Chain A
Amino acid sequence: MSAIQVVPISYYVWLSAILFSIGVMGVLFRRNVIIVFMCIELMLNAVNLLMVAFSSMLNDAAGQIFVFFIMAVAAAEVAVGLAILVMIFRNTKSVDIDFLNKLKR
């Protein structure tokens, strides 16, 4: 038995919306770049969860394949992002996101 038969799809929509909003709130809330990255991962995961729920509901495997590709892109994004972060920390000795406004000037 699948959870989609006993749990309404709207509950999954609400859960994903709440997780996504927590991610957006975290991006605005924190100044540490690493935590901002982690909140972006949280947003990607909220989307993944909704996609798997609808894939299970509509009996279509394409949704689960999309989740694979999102995971692949997330892994590549984290590797490059953390490399950039380590570079910036080596030059400025700070992980403060408000410190990184040099492109504006």
Chain B
Amino acid sequence: MLTQYLFYFLSFLAIFSALLVVFSKNPVQSVLSLIVTFFAIAGHYVLLNAQFLAAVHVIVYAGAIMVLFLFVIMLLNLNEDSEPQKPGWIKFAATITGGLLMVVMIAALRSAAEMPAPQKVDASIGMIKNLGHVLFTDFALPFEISSLLFLVAMVGAVMLGKKEIHNP
């Protein structure tokens, strides 16, 4: 019973703060709302017995990505006054488009609702021992390729962020 209440609470929190991300005028407030959304999703992971993934999610998103966003916003000195706004009819059209997409997706995924709940759940599946075993046996090649991706991203970010050298 408690699990269900926690599910409803976390879902409400996630949707509410996701809406705040879109609608708040101040970019810093958007970032803080997105952090709340990420914590709510990490709570969902804990409820789904994916404890290691929840920890990684908090560390990577709240710890690394959102700090990067906050740094850039504060570096560029953005605030409510410098915030560009779209005209009203585009905002209206965007809301209608998002709502239509939601209706289409829910209608398309309706057959998933007929899947029965599992009788027996293996609680050890989200533990670091099991995940590490799967990662280094079945997914060893994608793991190595992702390290290459990080190298390329690191070099690219440094090259882009560097000030251009002006030749006289």
Contact = CB atoms under 8 A, between A and B. Distances in A.
Given A13-B113, A76-B150, A59 B4 contact: no
B160 A80 contact: yes
B118 A21 contact: no
A14 B157 CA distance: 36
B11 to A, nearest CB: 5
Contacts, number: 241
Contact of A48 (B31, B41, B156): B41
B22 A29 contact: yes
Interface string B6-17: 110001001100
A22 B22 contact: yes
B84 A84 contact: no
B167 interface: no
Interface in B1-46: 1, 3-4, 6-7, 11, 14-15, 18-19, 21-22, 27, 30-31, 34, 37-38, 41, 44-45
A79 B152 CA distance: 11
B165 interface: no
Contacts of A69: 139, 142, 146
- The SS class assigned to the A binding surface is helix
Interface residues of B, number: 85
A67 B117 contact: no
A25 B7 contact: no
The listed residue with most A CB atoms (<10 A of its CB), out of B44, B90, B93, B110, is B44
Contacts of B7: 3, 7, 11
Given A1-B3, A10-B113, A95 B84 contact: yes
Contact of A37 (B18, B50, B69, B156): B69
Interface string B121-148: 1110110001100110011001000100
4 smallest beta-carbon distances between A and B, as pairs: A25-B98, A28-B94, A10-B113, A76-B153
